[in-house]
Amino acid sequence: MQIHLQTLGCRLNEAELETWAEHFQAQGHHIVQTPEQADLLVINTCAVTQEAVKKSRQIIRRAHKRNPKAKLIVSGCYATLDSNIKLDIDSIDLIVGNKQKDDLVNIVLNELNIEAMPMLASEPDEAAIFQRGRNRAFIKVQDGCRYRCTFCIVTIARGEEKSRKISAIIEEINSIHAKGIQEIVLTGVHLGGYGSNIDTNLTQLINTILSETTVPRIRLGSLEPWELDDKFFSLFSNPRLMPHLHLPLQSGVDSVLRRMARRCKTNDFAGLINKARELIPDINITTDIIVGFPGESDKEWQASLAFIEKMAFSHIHIFTYSPRAGTKAATLPEPVANDLKKQRSHALHMLTQTMRLNFLNKHVNTQREVLWETKNGDGFWTGYTDNYIRVELKHVCDENLENTITKVKLTSPSINSGIYKASLLN
């Protein structure tokens, strides 16, 4: 069977796709890059916003239109939350909900009566890492979340927390490293809650990865700030743990955070940021902010903006609030007018641009290590530093830098392209 896998949404969705790819290949099937090549289409959907739902529906219909003869399998949050999806999109052959998605490959093969070929029918060293090339892989370590932020539909779609055993995670990391992967990213719906159901925790997991694997680079996905303590930051004394943290703030004022049912006050958040910067040199801290949450007054917005500026993030994922059916926030009074949300979003984008440039300017003429990923048609190599700055290098030699880690000197940032110019060091 020729199988095409597609996703949108979070890194966890991408991690699941990579796992499905490996399992399909282990059964003797092949992963292809376009729907037209496929006998089987598998789509991992998202429902974090109404726009994500819309895009999920578009991707499903577009994939079927491009190859109407292929079997169409749909999974993910949108497929789980919408009980009418198969009635609305009658081209779907099979739906696999989030609770069953860890066993998606077996379910698909059994339900559609697809025979597995012998294990050795696939190429001996055929890698399943297709989504991010052979440089970086997402490792799903847990699913679900015990908290109920009022704006979040994902915790409803993903269900209760469930963590993978450390031994299984170690085995996966060692397997993909043997295939050439240089960097892993640990992901989960509630990554900081890893181990809550199996009597362990994220710190233990990271320590075990550091001691029982040799993959050069380890990154962490999004972490809720209330899960971190001082001991957590000491892990970064090991240079294999990359100095970049994405800590969702969502709002810079406590009154809005209470309406969101967030568990971290601004003073606590500021304390964490200060501690991280004190203990981890040149750490890159990014965040999420929701603009125009119900009831957000001008006074709250200005206070939030001032706090965000004080935190000096290098980048912000900005979400303009829109009601999501099934969440408590959708029932809250005093919705913010769309025009006002657009104005606030624009102001935050401008501030983000300034903070980004300030962060990049601090690194002029400094030295960092870069994992090189691709070379464009103009001969420029691009990759990421340990603290997640995207860099570009004009390398005049014919040497292939792909998937190598080298030391560079950062020379000049470009706020427009988001790419830092660099020169190679011997």
CATH number, domain with residue 137: 3.30.750.210
Based on the domain organization, do 146 and 228 belong to the same domain? yes
**Same domain flag for 155 and 196:** yes
pLDDT bucket at 116, cuts 50 / 70 / 90: very low
Is residue 317 pLDDT above 70, yes or no? yes
Please report whether residue 100 resides in a domain: yes
* Mean pLDDT for the chain overall: 89
Q: Residues 44, 74: one domain? A: yes
Give the three-class secondary structure for 407.
strand
Do residues 164 and 103 both lie within one domain? no
Closest C-alpha among 207, 222, 231 to residue 285: 222
**Domain shared by 159 and 103, yes or no:** no
Question: Are 21 and 108 in contact, with CB atoms under 8 Å apart?
Answer: no
Rounded to two decimals, the pTM is 0.84
Domain containing 396 equals 367-424
How far apart are the C-alpha atoms of 231 and 214, rounded to whole Å?
A: 23
Residue corresponding to tokens 């300034």: 354
**264 in Cβ contact with 147 (< 8 Å):** no
Q: Is residue 262 part of a domain?
A: no
Does 149 map to a domain?
A: yes
Among 66, 93, 121, the domain boundary falls at 121
CATH, residue 15: 3.40.50.12160
Report the pLDDT value the prediction gives residue 86, as an integer from 0 to 100.
78
42 and 136 housed in the same domain: no
**pLDDT above 70 coverage of the chain, percent:** 94
Q: What is the pLDDT of residue 190?
A: 92
What is the domain count for the chain? 3
Residues 383 and 419 in one domain: yes
Categorize the per-residue pLDDT at 115 as very low, low, confident or very high, splitting at 50, 70 and 90. low
Q: Which H/E stretch holds residue 21? A: helix 11-26
Q: Same structural domain for residues 181 and 200? A: yes
Flag the least confident range among 107-121, 277-291, 352-366. Answer: 107-121
Q: Give a yes or no: residue 34 inside a domain.
A: yes
If one counts every other C-beta atom within 10 angstroms of the C-beta of residue 211, the result is: 9
- Where does a domain end: 65, 97, 121? 121
For residue 346, what are the CA distances in angstroms to 30, 49, 63, 352? 45, 20, 34, 10
CB atoms within 10 A of CB 62: 12
204 in any annotated domain: yes
Determine, yes or no, domain membership for 67: yes
H/E element holding 42? Answer: strand 40-45
- Whole-number pLDDT of residue 120: 34
> Is 196 inside a domain boundary?
yes
Summarised one tens digit per residue, pLDDT across range 65-78 is 999 999 999 999 99
Task: For residue range 10-48, list pLDDT tens digits in order.
Answer: 788 888 888 898 888 878 888 888 999 999 999 999 988
Q: What pLDDT is recorded for position 117?
A: 41
What is the structure's pLDDT at 410? Answer: 93
87 and 149 part of one domain: no
Phi, psi of 112 (to 5 degrees): -100, 5
Residue that is last in its domain, among 121, 144, 170? 121
Cα angle: 53, vertex 57, 63; to 5 degrees: 140
Q: What is the pLDDT of residue 412?
A: 87
**Does the structure show a pLDDT above 90 at 394?**
no
